[in-house]
Amino acid sequence: MKKVFLLLTLAVLMFGAACKPLETPPVTDAQEAMLTPDTESKSPEEDVQEPEPVEPVVAEPVEQVTIDYAKNFTIEYREGYKLLTVTTPWAGAEQSFSYALVPEEFAGMLDVGNAMLIKTPIKSIVTFSTTYYPFLEQIGQLESVIGIDTSMFAYNQNIRTWAEAGAIKEVGGGASMAPVDVEAVIELAPDAIMTSASGIPEYDVHPQLLEAGLPVVLNADYLEPHPLGRAEWGKFIAAFYDKEVEATKLFDELVARYEEAKMKVIAISYAPSVFLNTAWEDSWAVPQKDSYVGILLRDAGARYLFDDQEGSASSYLGFETVLDVSKEATFWLNPGMATDLASLSAMDARYADFAAFKSGEVYNTTARVTDMGGSDYYESGVANPDKVLMDLIAILHPGLLEGYELYYYKQLN
């Protein structure tokens, strides 16, 4: 799980030294595939005979999908294969990564340039993020997971059950904060390994796995600022199973639900004031105007008090600055790890000075969590931004969604 405190810790550790350069799948324009059958050469001693004409291998035409919201990956349909390119694998990256998804029967007959060749459909995968589970579940491929970083922070019950039974191997790395067991991954022999990257070699698992010659795929869903763009990475994952058409149909239904939710507040003139998060050692991370959360708040009809912060990431402000701006705000969302008002004020007594604290209008994403802290908001919420949006609308505009029950959010008592 991509927990908030892990991300903050990672940001602080940006001073780390770079590791030894590794060979990674470079960014190239993959050549158009030449489908040519294998032929056996004859020795000079054999009688020379006129070769019989060979029918060229022709790939079956496939239904193609487009990418409409995501900005960090592309999909191209070449002659006989699909080319996926992750254009921005981590923030500030100067290289991109290309993956040629080739039908197994054509794997030895295609020239895909310098792209990493992966035979499809894959049948097994090792994952290093919980955000992939809902997308795999949507296309009926969750059981293809044979290895994960850790089950500790997983919300998905099947993943936790299979890991406990030994059907899924925990290999470290990722959210486990333990070194990745490369030998264990090699023994699993997965068809693909999917992970995110930060660009800091000592914290990323992909350099070691690539060095071992393993088929590592980088997924940059977390960099997408738009909620629908982040959810569209379901097509990226599905392409490895040759199920991107199925994923597209599900995505189109999601978009329709999201847009329908937006329309519920379009005619409402009242926009309640909102702020988010808590301080970390007197530094307060404030989502910028066009960030993932900033867009959700705008679509939910909120008056976000820090929409003057331009950008799609976060700004870091002092405690007193946030207090000055937000002291009279109507709603307080995502207050760190707090599960009730008492635990929130225990973090810092100054939190009790906010009007939202005094009125009890504080909500956190704690409605669906495990005993170990695994949060479904940070897991399936990526694939279901329509549910997140509906929660926000219900919180900010009480009574508008009659009979609606919060799914990810919970009011702090």
95 and 214 assigned to the same domain: yes
Band of residue 58 on the pLDDT scale cut at 50, 70, 90: low
What is the percent of the chain with per-residue pLDDT over 70, rounded to a whole number? 85
Q: Residues 127, 195: contact at Cβ < 8 Å?
A: yes
Domain termination residue (choose one: 194, 228, 257): 257
Task: Tell me the average pLDDT across 335-358.
Answer: 97
388 and 292 assigned to the same domain: yes
Cβ neighbours of residue 124 under 8 Å, at least 6 residues apart? 144, 145, 146, 188, 189, 190, 191, 192
Does 28 fall in a domain? no
pLDDT exceeds cutoff 90 at 257: yes
Q: Residues 172, 196: contact at Cβ < 8 Å?
A: no
Band of residue 62 on the pLDDT scale cut at 50, 70, 90: confident
Domain termination residue (choose one: 257, 277, 307): 257
Alpha helices by DSSP H, listed for 274-375, are 292-299, 319-326, 341-347, 355-359
**Residue 341, number of CB atoms within 10 A of its CB:** 18
Cβ neighbours of residue 86 under 8 Å, at least 6 residues apart? 72, 73, 96, 97, 98, 99, 218, 219, 220
Cβ neighbours of residue 150 under 8 Å, at least 6 residues apart? 170, 172, 174, 175, 176, 178
pLDDT exceeds cutoff 90 at 48: no
Band of residue 87 on the pLDDT scale cut at 50, 70, 90: very high
Could you give the CA distance from residue 362 to residue 146 in angstroms, rounded to a whole number?
A: 39
241 and 324 assigned to the same domain: no
Q: Residues 90, 220: contact at Cβ < 8 Å?
A: yes
Structural tokens at position 401: 């969604």
CA-nearest of 159, 180, 155 to 168 is: 159
245 and 272 assigned to the same domain: no
Band of residue 50 on the pLDDT scale cut at 50, 70, 90: low
Does 105 fall in a domain? yes
Largest CA distance in the chain: 95
Could you give the CA distance from residue 351 to residue 348 in angstroms, rounded to a whole number?
A: 6
68 and 147 assigned to the same domain: yes
82 and 147 assigned to the same domain: yes
Sign of CA dihedral 130, 135, 136, 137: positive
Does 6 fall in a domain? no
Measured at the CA of 266, the angle between CA 261 and CA 267, to 5 degrees, comes to: 130
Sign of CA dihedral 84, 90, 96, 97: negative
214 and 68 assigned to the same domain: yes
Q: Is 78 or 42 the better-scoring residue by pLDDT?
A: 78
307 and 179 assigned to the same domain: no
pLDDT exceeds cutoff 90 at 84: yes
Q: What is the pLDDT of residues 266-299, one digit of tens each?
A: 999 999 999 999 999 899 999 999 999 999 999 9
pLDDT reported for residue 22: 37
In whole numbers, what is the pLDDT of the chain averaged over residues? Answer: 89
Could you give the CA distance from residue 260 to residue 162 in angstroms, rounded to a whole number?
A: 37
pLDDT reported for residue 52: 54
Does 375 fall in a domain? yes
pLDDT reported for residue 28: 44
pLDDT exceeds cutoff 50 at 64: yes
- The total number of structural domains in the chain stands at 2
Band of residue 24 on the pLDDT scale cut at 50, 70, 90: very low
pLDDT exceeds cutoff 70 at 30: no
Say which CATH number the domain at 366 has: 3.40.50.1980
303 and 155 assigned to the same domain: no
pLDDT reported for residue 46: 47
Of 2-11, 214-223, 349-358, the least confident = 2-11
Does 124 fall in a domain? yes
Band of residue 301 on the pLDDT scale cut at 50, 70, 90: very high
Could you give the CA distance from residue 170 to residue 158 in angstroms, rounded to a whole number?
A: 14
Does 12 fall in a domain? no
Could you give the CA distance from residue 383 to residue 230 in angstroms, rounded to a whole number?
A: 8
CA contacts within 13 A on the Cβ side of 49:
7
Of 3-7, 50-54, 216-220, 392-396, the least confident = 3-7
283 and 241 assigned to the same domain: no
Does 34 fall in a domain? no
Q: What is the pLDDT of residues 119-178, one digit of tens each?
A: 999 999 999 999 999 999 999 999 999 999 999 999 999 999 999 999 999 999 988 788
CA-nearest of 120, 122, 116, 83 to 105 is: 120
Band of residue 75 on the pLDDT scale cut at 50, 70, 90: very high
pLDDT reported for residue 5: 37
Domain termination residue (choose one: 210, 236, 257): 257
Task: Tell me the average pLDDT across 232-238.
Answer: 98
Q: Give the pairing of strands 273-276 and 145-148.
A: unpaired
Measured at the CA of 158, the angle between CA 152 and CA 159, to 5 degrees, comes to: 40
Q: What is the pLDDT of residues 175-190, one digit of tens each?
A: 878 899 999 999 999 9
Task: Tell me the average pLDDT across 42-59.
Answer: 51
Band of residue 17 on the pLDDT scale cut at 50, 70, 90: very low
Structural tokens at position 11: 């940001």
245 and 195 assigned to the same domain: yes
Per the structure, the complete domain to which residue 353 belongs is given by 265-411
pLDDT reported for residue 51: 53
Does 137 fall in a domain? yes
80 and 194 assigned to the same domain: yes
pLDDT reported for residue 29: 46
